């Protein structure tokens, strides 16, 4: 049985799909699982033991995108006959790719779009008591399996593939390497939209609180961000710029190298973004700040030692992705998550 799975983006969402992938592989060990994603996210999937074939795609514009997707479909078809497709994205690009497999059965993910619409537009939350995305997705596709999902059984299967390393619902290739933890704290203050970013002055305050605590004097703190995240330089005043315990790694690491740093750390502090899901895929506990989006969408932390922080406002959530421009003069949903609150959460989690 050959299954083609499609998820072009984004960074965190690509990682999240591995829970379903691994459960399928557990139930059907002889199946051939192929995965399609965008080229920048190749390292998140390439080398994962439950993925047999990886196809990557470089985005084009206009009609060139259509023809490039057609060429991609030819490449996939030439390798192995596909029995059915699981569309984990549901975007225009995914729909175009599926046109070239018109005779192949297709199963599409349920994004709960209408329930999200009710929450965003009318603040009617019918998603609050649903499982996180990891459980939700596996249960949505339960009709494919001859048995119900069992988390303990699933984790036992995952852990047998590595030695002395606890895996979780999601995993990345880095999770299967022997990377010893160090006395390291990772802060990844990034997000694709500015409204989802915890303010840089708050990050600066948190950094100084941690640095001032003698208990953590042997810890280094790594600031991880991509080349485009130049706003992270606002964190560093003269005091922090000269502190050799603070590693400014903005723009200096690939996705794989960033994952390796996170894997070494004791905790990752971040926003509702890909770093959250990468950290949890590596078994690293997380403090995640949620602002314009909602934990109820299902992308909240799922590890028992992780925490999500947010504030109650009548305007939250304002969009599915955080892309909507705020009608207020400031992003109070993020500003009002105070550094002192994050610091106290950090102390409790590190002590535990």
The yes-or-no answer to whether 2-176 and 184-351 have a common fold is: yes
Q: Where are the alpha helices (DSSP H) in the chain?
A: 11-16, 18-27, 42-45, 63-79, 92-99, 113-122, 133-140, 151-159, 200-212, 238-241, 255-264, 274-281, 332-335, 339-351
Rounded Cα distance between 104 and 115, Å, is: 29
Give the angle subtended at the CA of 282 by the CAs of 281 and 286, to the nearest 5°: 80
DSSP SS3 for 228: coil
**Per-residue pLDDT at 163:** 64
List the strands of the sheet with 2-6, edge to edge: 53-57, 32-38, 2-6, 84-87, 106-108
**Per-residue pLDDT at 159:** 78
Q: Span 2-176: which CATH code?
A: 3.40.50.2000
pLDDT-based confidence at residue 158 (cuts at 50, 70, 90): confident
Q: Are 158 and 176 in contact (CB under 8 A)?
A: no
Q: Bridge partners of 33? A: 3
Residues near 141 by beta carbon (within 8 Å), at least 6 away in sequence: 20, 24, 86, 107
pLDDT-based confidence at residue 160 (cuts at 50, 70, 90): confident
Residues near 352 by beta carbon (within 8 Å), at least 6 away in sequence: 305
Packed helices 18-27 and 151-159: angle between N→C axes, nearest 10 degrees:
90
Domain boundaries, the chain: 2-176, 184-351
Mean pLDDT of 29-35: 96
Mean pLDDT of 68-80: 95
Q: Span 184-351: which CATH code?
A: 3.40.50.2000
Q: Which of 272, 247, 305 is nearest to 189 (CA)?
A: 272
Paired sense of beta strands 84-87 and 106-108, if any:
parallel
Q: How far is CA 339 from CA 221, 274, 344, 347, in A?
A: 16, 21, 9, 12
Q: What would the pLDDT profile of 94-151 be if each residue is shown by its tens digit?
A: 999 999 999 999 999 999 999 999 999 999 999 998 888 888 999 999 999 988 888 8
| Sign of the alpha-carbon dihedral angle for 70, 71, 74, 79 | negative
Mean pLDDT of 330-341: 96
């Amino acid at each position: 049985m050959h299954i083609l799975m499609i998820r072009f983006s984004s960074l965190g969402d690509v990682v999240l799909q591995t829970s379903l992938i691994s459960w399928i592989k557990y139930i059907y060990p002889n199946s051939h699982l192929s995965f399609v994603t965008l080229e920048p996210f190749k390292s998140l999937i390439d080398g994962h033991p439950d993925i047999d074939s990886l196809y990557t795609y470089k985005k084009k514009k206009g009609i060139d995108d259509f023809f490039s997707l057609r060429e991609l479909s030819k490449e996939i078809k030439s390798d192995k006959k596909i029995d059915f497709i699981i569309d984990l994205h549901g975007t225009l690009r995914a729909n175009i790719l599926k046109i070239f497999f018109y005779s192949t059965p297709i199963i599409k993910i349920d994004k709960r779009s209408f329930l999200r619409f009710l929450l965003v537009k009318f603040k009617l939350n019918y998603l609050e008591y649903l499982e996180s995305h990891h459980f939700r997705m596996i249960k949505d596709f339960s009709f494919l399996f001859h048995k119900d999902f069992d988390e303990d059984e699933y984790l036992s299967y995952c852990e047998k593939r590595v030695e002395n390393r606890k895996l979780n619902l999601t995993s990345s290739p880095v999770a299967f390497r022997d990377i010893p933890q160090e006395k390291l704290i990772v802060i990844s203050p990034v997000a694709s939209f500015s409204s989802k970013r915890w303010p840089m002055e708050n990050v600066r305050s948190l950094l100084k609180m941690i640095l001032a605590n003698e208990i953590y004097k042997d810890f280094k703190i790594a600031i991880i961000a991509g080349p485009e995240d130049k706003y992270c330089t606002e964190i560093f005043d003269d005091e922090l710029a000269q502190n050799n315990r603070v590693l400014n790694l903005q723009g200096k690491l690939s996705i794989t190298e960033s994952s390796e740093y996170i894997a070494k750390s004791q905790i990752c502090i971040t926003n509702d973004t890909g770093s959250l899901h990468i950290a949890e895929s590596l078994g690293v506990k997380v403090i995640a700040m949620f602002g314009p989006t909602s934990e109820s969408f299902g992308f909240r932390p799922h590890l028992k030692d992780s925490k999500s922080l947010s504030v109650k406002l009548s305007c939250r959530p304002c969009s599915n992705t955080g892309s909507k421009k705020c009608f207020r003069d400031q992003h109070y949903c993020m500003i009002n998550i105070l550094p002192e609150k994050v610091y106290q959460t950090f102390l409790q989690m590190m002590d535990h």
